[in-house]
A = this chain, B = another copy of it.
């Protein structure tokens, strides 16, 4: 940490700051400039992070030097982490192609969708059983019935399944049915939920919050890692902005930005980011070209009948066409797309 003192700080104030630093078990390095006095604070990393330096009278700014996350950082773990979702590897050159409807609405429909995304090359099936909806009057998901359907259809098509968990009390239930637990954007800083999935033995798909910085996202991953679960895949899904022609603003620079600082895989969800099927293919291609470790796309075979977010889904044939492009791009980028769990369907 570096402390910058207010202009005109007198000896008594400087002395007091030095005393406080010392009382916190830290060392101070004083340096008097022409315009400002600055103090370098040195000490054990964990102690530094939580020291209330900025509240000391006379302190103008506190400039952090160290990253506030540790287990998620590339300095802690140099190599890219590979997260295995059942038999599908994500990271280290292997791409996750996650697809499926926003919500599980019924078995027949999910079979219809799963069969087509499987044929197109998707390797993980998604579908919500517990749905976070802005309105209490909207469809909230089928709950455990939805989980059962998702599991059955995943097994039938040999696709691992990922589904959202919204409540610490649901984790045990969802773990029984799903291969991967999704934390939605609205829950990225639901720290109790992060701690709970951190104790689960299933990988976690952690979506970036709508107003989370890249650092915030990595701090939330740190919660899961610090609770004991090393299998975290991050997901960029757009952030809130002033642009009103798309649902959110997809921040693709998040991909190389995360990859420079962290060993964790990061995938991209252009469906929630744009909310517009006409923009999804271009953004999915851009994600792979940017080096993302996978793409998450909502696919629905009858969007006008969908109970949730039908308007942002691709049709199965649109998804198939997109996957043709993504496979060629992946090859160009030296990446592979693992097949689903088993052999033929």
- Closest chain-B Cβ to A90's Cβ sits at a distance in Å of 18
Give the docked Cα–Cα distance between A133 and B226 (Å): 14
Given known A-B contacts A55-B311, A191-B166, A304-B55, A63 and B244 have beta carbons under 8 A apart: no
Q: How far is the CB of A84 from chain B (nearest CB, A)?
A: 24
Question: How many Å lie between the Cα of A304 and that of B54 in the bound state?
Answer: 8
A7-B75, A52-B303, A306-B52 known; A211 and B214 CB under 8 Å? no
A211: which of B139, B242, B306, B329 is its contact (CB, 8 Å)? B242
- Tell me the smallest distance from the CB of A275 to a CB of chain B, in Å: 10
Q: From B4, B138, B285, give the contact of A50 (CB < 8 A).
A: B138
Are the C-beta atoms of A283 and B290 separated by less than 8 Å?
yes
Per a CB cutoff under 8 Å, which of B57, B189, B257, B306 touches A304? B57
A 20-57 binary contact with B (CB < 8 Å = 1; else 0) = 10000000010101111010101001100110101111
Per-residue B-contact encoding for A215-245, CB less than 8 Å = 1, 0 else: 1100100110011000000000001111111
Contacts of A211 in B (CB 8 A): 209-211, 239-240, 242
Interface size of A by CB at 8 A reads 102
Complex CA–CA separation, A328 to B313 (angstroms): 30
B310 touching A213, Cβ below 8 Å: no
Residue contact A65 to B260, C-beta cutoff 8 Å = no
B residues less than 8 Å from A255 (CB atoms): 282
Q: Residues of B contacting A134 with CB < 8 Å?
A: 68, 189, 216, 219
Asked if residues B20 and A329 are in contact (CB atoms below 8 Å), the reply is no
A135 touches B49 (CB 8 A): yes
Give the chain B neighbours of A42 by CB distance below 8 A: 33-34
A291 interfacial contact with B, CB 8 Å: yes
The answer to whether A273 has its CB under 8 Å from any CB of chain B is yes
Contacts of A285 in B (CB 8 A): 289-291
**Are B245 and A54 interface neighbours, CB within 8 A?**
no
* 13 A-B pairs in the complex with CB atoms less than 8 angstroms apart: A29-B31, A33-B40, A49-B137, A50-B135, A52-B303, A54-B310, A167-B192, A211-B211, A214-B243, A239-B241, A242-B242, A250-B252, A253-B279
